[in-house]
Homo-oligomer: A and B are copies of this chain.
Amino acid sequence: MEKRIPTRLLLEEKELPKHWYNINAVMKDKHEPCLDPITKKPCTAEDLSKVFCKELVNQELNFTDEYIPIPEDVQEFYKMVRPAPLIRAYCLEKVLDTPAEIYYKFEGNNTSGSHKLNSAIPQAYYAKQEGLKNLTTETGAGQWGTALSMACAFYGLDLTVFMVKCSAEQKPFRKAVIETYGANVIKSPSTTTSIGRKILEEFPNTTGSLGCAVSEATEKALSTPECKYVLGSVLDYVILHQSIIGLETKLALEKYGVQPDILISCIGGGSNFGGFIAPFVKDKINGTKDIRIVAVEPKSCPSLTRGKYAYDYGDTGRITPLLKMYTLGNGYIPASSHAGGLRYHGVNPIISKLYHDGYLEAVSVEQTKVFEAAVKFAKCEGILPAPESSHSIKVAINEALKCKQTGEKKKIVFCLTGTGYFDLNAYTAFNNKEMQDYVPTDEELQKGFSTIPTI
């Protein structure tokens, strides 16, 4: 008799990973280096250290060590909230009447509501180790701001969060959580920075943008003693920290004898996706295991499926280093959608390179279809998912239904990055059938591409 796999594929504390996994070390063809925005030459550690913490810069530039130790102090924090559950979706399988096995790694069981805490903790830890007193960052939807405020409260660091003005007003409760953890929230654009004042002078009615908030947070970091700027996605060191997701998933699957056929996760800047797939990539590159890896993006912001592979800035203000990545152009403004965490013009360089080299698949989905899947999932699996995470649910359901057609017992594993507790305006819009889909025209994309610099 086949042994029943438990609903939760538990790991014990002693089984928790003690190292992160560095994809860069195992890529035969490395991605191209990031370039200084002025000189257009590869950034040195010294260049990057002006803005970023030293240890993070070391990690960003490490292309050799496959495993990088997780500091003991960070391991201690992880133990409070991890391992994140890996759950066999027995109820969803039953509802879909599929022979497929569906598993999800649930990263939403912490107060930040998402996987963002995995990187916030080490970033605050390294800042503390470096002797810093303050950090700055930006936040859009608010998950990253919440995670970093928790990390800074834990390590006793002051934090200033530049929160995109319209987000701060649409999501006052996110702002309230961040403030409860003791951080200073400034609606961006603000009069506290010269770039903010300049933007406000030019566009007095602007509701802000992530690009502008990045610029303000960077300016503030550069002009404040013992202060640096941190961010929660796009860079390689964030993917490194997020590899804890994939490492735990791989360990638990192995412990219970499950060999995955398809890995699925949503993609914005790439933080959860990169971390989730990290320890599975080597086998894919070496061809030693037959596994499909699928990135899911919103149709309104199709960086992988319709973007260009080119050097581009990370922000609309064009002050960050240039990254070689799939991009819709730094000037592309995605239509307003309810998956704020996926509204980014580019994709992390590691993932972009892997996609370019044919190791990954990408699909894009419409948000009304995503919310249909989210509600179906919530009703049988109990968890109200974040709109971002529901992109993965939608594609996992599609794959499971294909198995129903073919009779295949594929093992589908997806990452459920977070909960939708702060996205209830979106659910209300969906419930009231007031939600719309948006697919950019080729002309609109062309306008974005025209903002990609020529290198």
Contact = CB atoms under 8 A, between A and B. Distances in A.
A6 interface: yes
A380 interface: yes
B383 A180 contact: no
A6 B10 contact: no
A380 to B, nearest CB: 7
A68 interface: no
Interface stretch (A265-273, A325-333, A421-429): A421-429
Interface string A78-91: 01110000010011
Contacts of A110: 382-383
Nearest to A112: B382
Nearest to A429: B176
A421 B424 contact: no
A359 interface: no
Contact of A79 (B7, B80, B109, B431): B7
A401 to B, nearest CB: 21
Interface of A is mostly: helix
Interface string A20-55: 000000000000000000000000000000000000
Interface string A366-410: 000000000100111111100000000000000000000000000
A76 interface: yes
Contacts of A179: 428, 431
A421 B177 CA distance: 8
A79 B87 CA distance: 9
Contact of A384 (B177, B379, B380): B177
A153 interface: yes
A12 B13 contact: no
Contacts of A424: 172-173, 176-177, 180
A176 B80 contact: no
Contacts of A383: 110-111
B91 A87 contact: no
B7 A10 contact: no
A344 to B, nearest CB: 25
B176 A427 contact: yes
Given A180-B378, A180-B424, 12 more contacts: A6-B14, A8-B79, A10-B12, A109-B109, A110-B382, A111-B378, A150-B379, A150-B382, A173-B173, A179-B428, A181-B379, A421-B421
12 contacts: A8-B79, A10-B13, A80-B381, A81-B382, A113-B421, A117-B382, A150-B379, A176-B431, A177-B427, A179-B428, A181-B379, A182-B379
